[in-house]
Structure formats: C-alpha cells, structure tokens
Amino acid sequence: MLTFEQARQRVIEVATAHRPKLDVEQGQLAQVVGRILAEEAAADRDYPPFDRSTRDGYAVRSDGLARVPAELEVLGEIRAGADVTPRKPSSFGLIKEGFSPVQCYQIMTGAGLPQQADAVVMQEDTERLGEDSVRVNKPVALWQNVVRRGSEAKAGDVLLRPGARLSYAELALLAQVGRAEVKVFARPRVAILSTGDEVVEVDEAPGPLQIRNSNTVSLAAQVTLAGGEPVPLFNAPDQEKELRQAIETGLSADALVLSGGVSMGKYDLVEKVLKEMGAEFFFDAVAIRPGKPAVFGLCRDKLVFGLPGNPVSTMVTFELFVVPALDILGGAPSRPLPTFKARLAAPVRQKAALTHFLPAAVEWTSGEAVVRELPWQGSGDIVALTRANAFLVVPQSKLEWPAGEWADVLPRRGML
Ligand code: AMP
Ligand code: MG
C-alpha cells in the first residue's frame, strides 16, 4: 500500500502528464484574486522609476558630512510626485547642475532625489536652524535612505510568468506596472458525484435510515477553495447501470471526484464500474486513516478520484490528493502540503499501522504552537471536525508520542 506521500507523488505525475489544455480568460485585477496567470507581465519602466527617498529628511551629498555636526544651506524642498521647489528662484538651476557638499534640499518620503544628491539624512538626525539652514548631527553613507532607480526591476524585465498564482502581492505588482486587465487560465471544471442508496439531497426529507448529502457540498467548497470550478451532479444509487451513466456525465468535466462506494462492501461499485469503462488505476488504497480506500485513476484521459464516503474521509483525501491535481490542472505548480510543527498538549497513541489525520485544535497562547487532539467518533463525525482548526498527523512510523513532543499538523484550509 502506498504512503500518502507516495500517493500524492503519483497524482502529481499523472496530472502533469495528462493536463488538459486550459482556456484563457481576460479579467480585471479585482476579479482575478487566486487565479493563475496565463501570460507574462513585464516592467513597463524601471522600478523605482527614479532614485527614491525612503525617508523624510534632507537630500545631501554624503561627502559633505565627513565631519558632523555640519551646517548645510537648504536650497528648497522636494515633495513626493513633484520637482524641486526652490526656496529662492535663483537656486533652481542647481537642480540641473548639482549642488555643493554644504548644500541640501529638504525631501519627503517617496520623492525623487535631485542631481548629485547621493544620500538622504533622516529628519530625526537633523536640527533645522532657520529658513535656509539645517544642522546635520550624524554622517550618512553613500545612497543611505535611497532606493536607486531600477534596483527592484529594469524596464522590460519579466516579473511574472504564466503559472504565477495571483495573490495580493502579485496583484499589486500588476497594478504597479499598469496592467488593469490580465489573462488568466480558466478554472478546471471538477464534476462531483456522490453515490449511495441511503443518500438524499439536502432539501429532501430523509427517511429514518437515510442521510443527507453533505459530501457534494463539502467537495464543492473544497474545489472552490483549491481554485477549481465545481460542477455538482446528482447522487447516484449503488447500481451499476445508473452509476455508469452518472460517471459518463461526470467525464465531460476536466476531472471527476466521486464520494462513496470504494470500500469492500457488496454494493461498493465505483471501482468495478470504472474498470469496465476502461479506467486505469494508479492506487486503490493509501496507508492513511481516515481515507484508506481512496482510489485514483484515469478514465478516457480524465483524472478520476474515488473518495471514501465518510464525510471526514472525503475531506481529508480531497486535501491530500485532489488539491495537488487541481493546482496542476489549473496551470500552476503543485503547492506543498502546508504542515507545520506544534507541541503535543497530551500524549497520542494510535494502533493501526497507518498515518492518522486526527481532528485537532492548535493554539499559540504559550507563545508556541500547541496542538490538542479532539474527541471524535471517527470519520463520520462532522460535528467534531467543525471544532478543529487542523489535523494532527500521527505518522505510520511512530504511532505513540508523549506530551511535549513536536508533532506535524496540517491546517484546515483557511482556518489557520
Ligand atoms: P461508503 O464510502 O459508500 O461506504 O460510505 C461510507 C459512509 O459515508 C456511510 O456511512 C455513508 O452513509 C456515508 N456517506 C456516503 N456518501 C455520503 C454523502 N454524500 N454525504 C454524507 N455521507 C455520506
Ligand atoms: Mg456507499
């Protein structure tokens, strides 16, 4: 049986080899947060476009401050976005020709340095003596408090490439270089098909032994959070003919995710029907709990995931195996599983030789991450999962941990 890391790796390889060609859409910056860039974005000019002061203070020649305190003549001021405003009209020419080591301009944060200034003394290190003179109390190094023109990027430099994920910094960069609209890849369409004779839709009244279809809802949410476009289908009964028809419908999307019907039961038909439809499987079990019977294959060149139907199993296996596939299908590199270490608040002990993903609460009240396993009734317990902000990962290789050790934690997406 594959470990979950091996199974993820399979998914990544197969998704990379069978990535469908994605359509490209044009979007305004405000509409494309979280989307994947489908074109290059280059610097339209140097960044910064001018030698930029990072402080309120005085633009000086650093060679004039070899000895401090020094008294400098103030020729004028430079506001952000503006050229020099000379104190005396006669001093304007100095901006072009430069100025002497004993002269300076008052300058504001974000303003451009005048010719021959090569540093900014910050206001806090000066004392204004009057209209036209200032005392500088500290020396300043060459280009101190200045970001030089072109030091962040040169005009024409490619700053973002196809496949870049557009989060707030990337959107700010696109705004900075004047791209109000950009091309992004269309989201991969993911058909969601729940199975089970006992399952009724959310707006139906369940009989005493029936349950409502929560998996289609959680899966659609997970698809959206992972950057895909959910295509929720109906619930299919545990009957071969109807299941086959439902799968046919699902295969028109870019990928198909099924829930339920992949265990060992007499009516768990998903794998059988997929096989009859010509599917090739890359795994049909993973050494994890919950989620051991998870199935991954290709059917008519489409990725198909058969996730176990217990709601928490469905959620965990989606995070482990479907998310990396959606990254790749969406036109981006797959993101690593964002686990981190937290100290165990209490000992943990598991018996089955599987890697366990247990509902857990992480807190930082003591200044470091502390994780506590939460009580739950197993993989059908959605109630317990809503109290958790993470999964505590108990690896197959070490099933017993004393309190105080650093354990792996997988955040619940969006909750930490
Ligand atoms: P299965 O994987 O089909 O053996 O189902 C395992 C458990 O998950 C059973 O208790 C099912 O009733 C439950 N289950 C299956 N599908 C869903 C669904 N769509 N929503 C909520 N629970 C489900
Ligand atoms: Mg079932």
Instruction: Indicate whether 98 pLDDT > 60.
Output: yes
Test site for ligand 1: of 222, 257, 259, 270, most ligand atoms within 8 A of the Cβ = 259
Q: Is the CB of 109 under 6 A from ligand 1?
A: no
Q: Closest ligand 1 atom to the C-alpha of 214?
A: 20
CA distance 75 to 105: 5
- Percentage of the chain surpassing pLDDT 90? 94
With contact defined as beta carbons under 8 Å apart, do 125 and 138 qualify?
A: yes
Q: What is the pLDDT of residue 119?
A: 98
* Paired tokens of 74: 């103030």
Task: Tell me the CA–centroid distance for residue 329 and ligand 2, in Å.
Answer: 28
- Pick the residue whose CA is nearest to atom 23 on ligand 1: 309
Q: What is the pLDDT of residue 90?
A: 65
**Phi, psi (deg, nearest 5) at residue 267:** -110, 20
Nearest residue to 102 (alpha-carbon basis) of 62, 143, 56: 62
Mean local confidence (pLDDT), 64-76: 94
Instruction: Indicate whether 401 pLDDT > 80.
Output: yes
Please name which ligand lies nearest the alpha carbon of 309.
Answer: 1
Q: What is the pLDDT of residue 85?
A: 82
Task: Tell me the CA–centroid distance for residue 309 and ligand 2, in Å.
Answer: 6
Q: Closest ligand 1 atom to the C-alpha of 198?
A: 12
- Pick the residue whose CA is nearest to atom 3 on ligand 1: 260
Q: Closest ligand 1 atom to the C-alpha of 262?
A: 2
Single-letter amino acid code for the residue at 217: V
Instruction: Indicate whether 88 pLDDT > 80.
Output: no
With contact defined as beta carbons under 8 Å apart, do 392 and 373 qualify?
A: yes
Among 92-96, 220-224, 237-241, 336-340, the least confident range: 92-96
Test site for ligand 1: of 215, 243, 307, 381, most ligand atoms within 8 A of the Cβ = 215
Q: What is the pLDDT of residue 91?
A: 60
Give the tens place of pLDDT for each residue, 106-158. 999 999 998 889 999 999 999 999 999 999 999 999 999 999 999 999 999 99
Query: What value does the CA radius of gyration of the chain take, rounded to a whole number of Å?
Result: 31
Q: Is the peptide bond before 162 cis (omega within 30 degrees of 0)?
A: no
What burial class does residue 364 get, using C-beta atoms within 10 Å of its C-beta: 0-12 exposed, 13-18 middle, 19+ buried?
exposed
HSE-CB at 385 with a 13 A cutoff on CA atoms is 20
Test site for ligand 1: of 195, 197, 199, 262, most ligand atoms within 8 A of the Cβ = 199
Q: Is the CB of 145 under 6 A from ligand 1?
A: no
What burial class does residue 151 get, using C-beta atoms within 10 Å of its C-beta: 0-12 exposed, 13-18 middle, 19+ buried?
middle
Count CB-CB contacts under 10 A for residue 397.
8
Task: Tell me the CA–centroid distance for residue 269 and ligand 2, in Å.
Answer: 9
* Paired tokens of 391: 């999964």
Give the tens place of pLDDT for each residue, 180-222. 999 999 999 999 999 999 999 999 999 999 999 999 999 999 9
In this structure, which residues have their CB less than 5 angstroms from ion ligand 2?
A: 196, 260-261, 309
Mean local confidence (pLDDT), 9-27: 96
Task: Tell me the CA–centroid distance for residue 260 and ligand 1, in Å.
Answer: 5
CA distance 32 to 30: 6
Q: What is the pLDDT of residue 249?
A: 98
* Paired tokens of 407: 């354990």
Residue 83: which pLDDT band, with cuts at 50, 70 and 90? confident
Q: What is the pLDDT of residue 96?
A: 56
Task: Tell me the CA–centroid distance for residue 298 and ligand 1, in Å.
Answer: 23
What burial class does residue 331 get, using C-beta atoms within 10 Å of its C-beta: 0-12 exposed, 13-18 middle, 19+ buried?
buried
Task: Tell me the CA–centroid distance for residue 259 and ligand 1, in Å.
Answer: 7
Q: Is the CB of 314 under 6 A from ligand 1?
A: no
Q: What is the pLDDT of residue 86?
A: 79
Task: Tell me the CA–centroid distance for residue 196 and ligand 1, in Å.
Answer: 7
Q: What is the pLDDT of residue 355?
A: 98
